[in-house]
Amino acid sequence: METEAILIWVAIGIIAGWLASILVGGGGLIRYLITGIIGAFVGGFIFKFVGINIDLGNAYLNEILVAAIGAVVVVLIARILA
């Protein structure tokens, strides 16, 4: 992977984790990043499985929204298991 692609993933992960923390609470930069990146995988899987295609007019906004929704799901599942 190129450095630019990795930085974009990190930025999307941090933003998605931050959005998830606003909705369900908690925080910290490292937690935002981890939750956002895991949420991106979970959200991508959920949206592909259900067959939903989001089009906000910008690919990065689409990815942030999917990752944020996935991050919320991850946080809620973690809270249920804890």
Model confidence pLDDT, tens digit, residues 25-66: 777 788 888 888 899 999 999 999 999 988 888 989 999 999
pLDDT of residue 27: 72
Q: How many CA atoms lie within 13 A of 78 on its CB side?
A: 15
Is residue 1's pLDDT more than 70? Answer: no
| Helices 59-81 and 3-24: angle between axes, nearest 10 degrees | 50
pLDDT of residue 51: 92
pLDDT-based confidence at 71, cuts 50/70/90? very high
Q: Whole-prediction pTM value?
A: 0.85
CA 69/CA 38 separation, integer angstroms: 11
Cβ neighbours around 5 below 10 Å, total? 9
Domain that holds residue 36: 3-81
- Domain total for the chain? 1
